[in-house]
Each structure stands twice: as C-alpha cells, then as structure tokens.
C-alpha cells in the first residue's frame, strides 16, 4: 500500500490552498494542526514559508472560528504573520477542521475587506473537501498515480489544447494549451494555470452559447461549460470547454481549447462548432472509460475509497444546506424563503391556486434577551421554530427571516378559504403565547402576525412579503399578540 510522507502531504495541501486562495481572493491561507490550547504546527501555508513553524494562536483569534470574515483590529495575531505576508492582515476568516488525531484550523487572511457573499460558502466547501482529503490520503495517492499514467498518454496524442486542472495534485498541460495560455508546458502549479486562464480570458471578447453555462460562472462548478474566446489582437477564436471530473474523489476539471478561427470566419459557427464539440466529447468519453476502468481496479483493493467519496458528498450537501439554512433553528433562511416563495407563486399562477404569506414577529423577545441573556433568547427562538413546524403543514415553507422574525408560505387550493387560513394562523398565534419566567416577573411573549395573499394582495414574492410585513406591523402598533389580514384598501382587517 502506498503511503505518503508528511512532506508530500504538505505539497498536496499547498496546491489546494493556492487554489482556495485564488478563489477567495485572499492574501494568504494557513492550516494549523495541534491542540488549540498549546501551540499548533503550521501544516501548510500560502504563500509557503510558515510550514513547520509553531504558532501561538491567541484565544481571541481562535474564537473567530466559524464566524465568517472578521476584522483583526483587536486580535492578537502570531507575530510571524506580518513578516510572512509583508503586511498585517486586516481581516481573517477561519474554520475548524477535524483532523484524525488533532484539532485543526484553517485561516484565510486579507489585507483589505473581502467581498463577503459567496466567499464563506465557498470556503466551507473547500475546507470540508480538505478534511476529506486529509482523512483519506493513502487511497488517493494510488488513485492519482493511475490517473496520471492514463492521462499522460492522452495528453501527448491529441491536437487540441488540453489542460487538466487538479486541485490537489497540480495541473498538467499539453503543448497546445501551454501555447494558448502563454505559460511553460511544464507548469504544474494549479494557481498559475488558473491565473493564466483568467488572464487570457480577460483579454478576449467572450461569447456564450444558449443553454450552456459560461466558464467560471457561479453555477458552473459541477456542470460542463462552453464558450468562445475571441482575441482579434492574437487572431484567435477559441472554443473553450470544460468538463468536471466528478467520478474522482479529487476535484478537478478538463479544459479543452479548440481553434475554430477558420470556421468562425466562414460563418459556419454553430454547425461546425457542434462538430468540434462532438469530436472532443468522443475523446473525452474515451478518456472517461479508461478512468472508470482504472477506478474499478482500484476499488478492488481500496475498499475505503467509496466511503470517503460518500463522506465528501455529504460534506458538499451540508455546505449547500448551510447556505440555505438558519443555523440557530434549522429552518430555511431568508434567501431560501424568497426563492421558495417565488417557486410557489409560479406554480400557483399555473394551477390557479393562491399563496398565503404569514409574517410573524415576536413581542417582548428583546425583553427576554435583555433580562435573561442571549442563550435563553436563542432557546425561545428554537421553541417558536418547533411550534411553527408542528402547527403548519408539511408542504408549507417555514423560515426564520432574521432576528425574531419568521415567515411562512402556504399554497391554498382553489377550494380552500381565507377563513380556514386565518383559523389556522390564529391557532398558531395562541400557541405562541409563551410565558417566560424571569427572576422577578413572568415575561409574556406573544406574536404579531400579518397575512397577505397572492394574487389578491400582490403579484410577486417581494411585494407579497412586504404586504404581510405591513399587516404584521399594524398588529404590532395595536400592542402585539394580534393576527392582521392585509387588504388592498391599506387598512387591514383585524382577525383577532
């Protein structure tokens, strides 16, 4: 059985980290391993140079784990950071990593505030991959050695530009791809290959095909992509395809570059490029078959691999879930709610159904938080989430929209009435009369609830949510603990 030395691990890890650094537009990344109370070792870093050092990680710094992007102003950082990066990083995002026999942490560093949105989710995904990777180092090494042999044979025998970008093992190019990208054919540094692709692409006019995701687009991570790169200065028209190598446990992609200049010039673009596509796909299919064969061989003596793949899939699912889920209550978050509501409206429009949106805001939640602390407040929010889940139907969409605000959306068949909905919601309102005991009083928590209907009150998700919110607000002004149904005349009907 193949075993890797720790040094190999560091090399492979740093490849992954370099790509992660590029993806996050971070200025540096380091992975530490060891007890968090002591002084952990640096397992890998980008830029390189901290590997093998022991760094004292202050409790303040460790406390930022999992909190997303965090300013470092009041954090004690290891002194080596500044010498390593050449500046003191102003922002950090970190995650805990469960390593087989120690606690690990991944830290990404930025000189300036990063764009936050997609970043955390991406960081999570990649970090969980990293975990899976570290956990199954040995099996992977064997798989990759097979892969490499197979791939080399293909690379050297085609007239297309081919780049195999592997996040863990470095990249491989053939002559044609190296020429197009303007980097040496021996380049194996994945970050350098990706950077070259971005550079060449940036100099080109990009044309895409209908129904095919563009390269480097957000939803292209698991799909095949195709686009045209046109650079008049270089007299270049390239058809650029990329295909995920998803049957492998290591994340990677095939990039195929085809010069379609003559066809492009003769206006035969669509038909001819389809020919080109067919030819390329035939080649790739052949390659895939070889790989599958190799994997079958591997599986025979590598029983652990399948399990690791499953773990990786689970990790991926979890990270998708996190992006759509409220971490405190497990309900959908605002983002998921809006998307779900849009889907429900589209479907209702088609079938002639109605959609009711229930907007719910707790009364005296702040009092609970102020008097009994955030932990009790969080507990209360979870109780509310449980109640909502119990009272509403399975198909209803329930979300925590932020703070102490919740949203529910339910499809109403044409035969159901508004009265039925208000009855259900009133029952819900009663269940949410929750007395919370504090040392010197009982805090009567209740809910102000607003209801609005599609298509009666609004035509789209945004306005519908706003109408329900307005109705809720009216209830709040009446003193709370009230269910208000929105009406078009802008004065709502109290249903309490």
Q: Which stretch binds other proteins (CB under 8 A): 47-55, 202-210, 371-379, 416-424?
A: 47-55
The correct pick among 83, 100, 182, 304 for binding other proteins (CB under 8 A) is 83
Nearer to other proteins, 72 or 94 (CB): 72
CA distance 380 to 372: 11
Please, which residue, 55 or 355, has the CB nearer to other proteins? 55
User: What's the rounded Cα separation, in Å, for the pair 460 and 342?
Assistant: 7
Q: Name which of residues 170 to 189 contact other proteins (CB under 8 A).
A: none
> Nearer Cβ to other proteins, position 56 or 373?
56
Residue 48 within binding range of other proteins, rule CB under 8 A: no
Member of 7, 82, 198, 346 binding other proteins (CB under 8 A): 82
Asked if residue 37 binds other proteins (CB under 8 A), the reply is no
Cβ contacts of 143-148, under 8 Å, gap ≥ 24: 143/248, 143/249, 143/250, 143/294, 143/295, 143/298, 143/302, 143/305, 144/168, 144/169, 144/250, 145/2, 146/294, 146/295, 146/297, 146/298, 147/248, 147/291, 147/294, 148/172
> What distance in Å separates the CA atoms of residue 176 and residue 155, rounded to the nearest whole number?
10
Residue found by looking up tokens 């009855």 in the block: 423
Of 55 and 108, nearer to other proteins (C-beta) is: 55
- Tell me the closest approach of the beta carbon of residue 71 to other proteins, in angstroms: 14
Q: Which of 77, 204, 380, 451 binds other proteins (CB under 8 A)?
A: 77
Q: Which residues contact 167 (CB under 8 A, 6 or more apart)?
A: 15, 16, 19, 129, 190, 250, 251, 252
Q: Does 373 bind other proteins (CB under 8 A)?
A: no
241 sits in which H/E element: strand 236-244
- The secondary element (H helix, E strand) that includes residue 164 is strand 161-166
Q: Within a 13 Å sphere around the CA of 198, how many CA atoms are in the beta-carbon half?
A: 11
Question: To the nearest whole angstrom, how small is the minimum distance from the Cβ of residue 310 to other proteins?
Answer: 38
**Site membership for other proteins, residue 51 (CB under 8 A):** no
One residue of 67, 87, 116, 199 binding other proteins per CB under 8 A: 87
CB of 42 to other proteins, least distance (A): 11
Counting contacts by CB under 8 A, is residue 76 touching other proteins?
yes
Residue 54 lies near other proteins (rule: CB under 8 A): yes
For the beta carbon of residue 284, count every other beta carbon within 10 angstroms: 18
How far is Cα 460 from Cα 195, in angstroms, rounded to an integer? 41
Compute the least distance from the CB of residue 67 to other proteins, in Å. Answer: 20
Site stretch for other proteins (CB under 8 A), options 1-9, 71-79, 233-241, 424-432: 71-79
CA distance 273 to 279: 10
Instruction: Give the nearer residue to other proteins in terms of CB position, either 109 or 365.
Output: 109
Tell me which stretch binds other proteins (CB under 8 A): 72-80, 197-205, 238-246, 488-496.
72-80
Q: Is there binding between residue 86 and other proteins (CB under 8 A)? A: yes
Q: Is the peptide bond before 455 cis (omega within 30 degrees of 0)?
A: yes
Interface with other proteins, residue 274, by CB under 8 A: no
The DSSP element (H or E) to which 289 belongs, if any, is helix 269-301
Q: Which of 244, 263, 260 is CA-nearest to residue 252?
A: 244
Strand-pairing partners, residue 208, are 227
Contact between 7 and other proteins (CB under 8 A)?
no
Selection from 218, 221, 219 nearest residue 244 by Cα: 221
Stretch that binds other proteins, among 79-87, 232-240, 413-421, 440-448 (CB under 8 A): 79-87
Q: Which of 80, 206, 212, 371 binds other proteins (CB under 8 A)?
A: 80
Distance of alpha carbon 129 from alpha carbon 126, whole angstroms: 5
Q: Is 39 in the site for other proteins (CB under 8 A)?
A: yes
Q: Which is nearer to other proteins, 82 or 327 (CB)?
A: 82
- Residue in 6, 56, 262, 403 binding other proteins, rule: CB under 8 A: 56
Asked if 55 interacts with other proteins (CB under 8 A), we say yes
The answer to whether residue 88 forms part of the interface with other proteins (CB under 8 A) is yes
CB 360 within 8 A of CB 425: no
CA distance 243 to 226: 9
As measured in angstroms, the least distance from the Cβ of 60 to other proteins is 9
Shortest Å distance, C-beta 87 to other proteins = 7
The window from 27-35, 81-89, 339-347, 353-361 that contacts other proteins (CB under 8 A) reads 81-89
Residue 258 per-residue DSSP state: E
269 binds other proteins (CB under 8 A): no
Do 454 and 348 contact (CB within 8 A), yes or no? yes
Which member of 53, 234, 335, 382 binds other proteins (CB under 8 A)?
A: 53
Count residues binding other proteins (CB under 8 A). 17
By rule CB under 8 A, what string of x and - marks binding of each residue 383-422 to other proteins?
----------------------------------------
DSSP characters over 364-431: SHHHHHHHH-HHHHHHHHHHHHHHHHHHS-TTSEEEEEETTEEEEEEEE-TT--HHHHHHHHHHHHHH
Q: Which residues bind other proteins (CB under 8 A)?
A: 39, 53-56, 58, 76-83, 86-88
């Amino acid at each position: 059985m193949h075993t890797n030395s720790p040094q190999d691990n560091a090399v492979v890890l740093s490849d992954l980290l370099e790509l992660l650094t590029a993806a996050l537009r971070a200025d540096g990344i380091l992975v530490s391993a060891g007890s968090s109370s002591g002084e952990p070792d640096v397992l890998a870093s980008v830029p390189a140079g901290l590997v093998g050092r022991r760094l004292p990680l202050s409790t303040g710094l460790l406390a930022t784990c999992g909190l997303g992007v965090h300013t470092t102003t009041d954090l004690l950082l290891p002194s080596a950071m500044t010498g390593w990066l050449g500046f003191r990083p102003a922002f950090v995002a970190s995650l805990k990593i469960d390593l087989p026999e120690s606690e690990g942490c991944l830290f990404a560093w930025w000189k300036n505030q990063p764009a936050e949105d997609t970043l955390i989710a991406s960081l999570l995904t990649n970090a969980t991959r990293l975990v899976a990777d570290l956990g199954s180092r040995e099996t992977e090494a064997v798989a990759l050695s097979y892969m490499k042999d197979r791939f080399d044979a293909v690379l050297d025998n085609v007239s297309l530009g081919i780049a195999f970008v592997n996040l863990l093992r470095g990249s491989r190019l053939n002559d044609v791809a190296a020429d197009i990208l303007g980097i040496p054919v021996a380049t194996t540094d994945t970050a350098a290959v990706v950077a070259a692709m971005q550079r060449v692409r940036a100099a080109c006019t990009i044309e895409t095909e209908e129904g095919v995701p563009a390269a480097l687009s957000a939803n292209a991570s698991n799909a095949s992509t195709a686009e045209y790169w046109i650079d008049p200065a270089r007299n270049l028209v390239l058809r650029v395809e990329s295909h995920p190598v998803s049957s492998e446990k290591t994340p990677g992609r095939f990039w195929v570059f085809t010069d379609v200049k003559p066809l492009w010039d003769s206006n035969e673009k669509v038909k001819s490029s389809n020919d080109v596509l067919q030819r390329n796909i035939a080649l790739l299919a052949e390659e895939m078959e070889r790989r599958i064969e190799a994997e079958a061989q591997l599986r025979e003596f590598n029983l652990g691999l399948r399990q690791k793949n499953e773990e990786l899939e689970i990790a991926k699912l979890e990270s998708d879930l996190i992006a759509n889920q409220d971490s405190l209550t497990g309900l959908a978050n605002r983002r998921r709610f809006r998307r779900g509501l849009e889907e429900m409206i589209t479907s209702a429009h088609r079938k002639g159904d109605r959609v009711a949106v229930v907007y719910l805001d707790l009364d005296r939640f702040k009092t609970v938080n102020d008097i009994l602390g955030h932990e009790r407040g969080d507990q209360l929010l979870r109780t509310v989430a449980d109640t909502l889940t119990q009272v509403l139907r399975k198909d209803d969409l329930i979300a925590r929209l932020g703070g102490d605000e919740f949203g529910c959306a339910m499809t109403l068949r044409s035969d159901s009435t508004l009265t039925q909905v208000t009855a259900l919601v009133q029952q819900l309102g009663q269940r949410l009369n929750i007395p919370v005991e504090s040392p010197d009083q009982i805090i009567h928590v209740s809910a102000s609830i607003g209801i609005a209907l599609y298509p009666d009150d609004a035509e789209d998700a945004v306005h519908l949510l706003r109408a329900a919110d307005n109705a809720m607000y009216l209830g709040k002004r009446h003193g709370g603990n009230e269910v208000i149904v929105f009406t078009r005349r802008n004065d709502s009907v109290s249903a309490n």
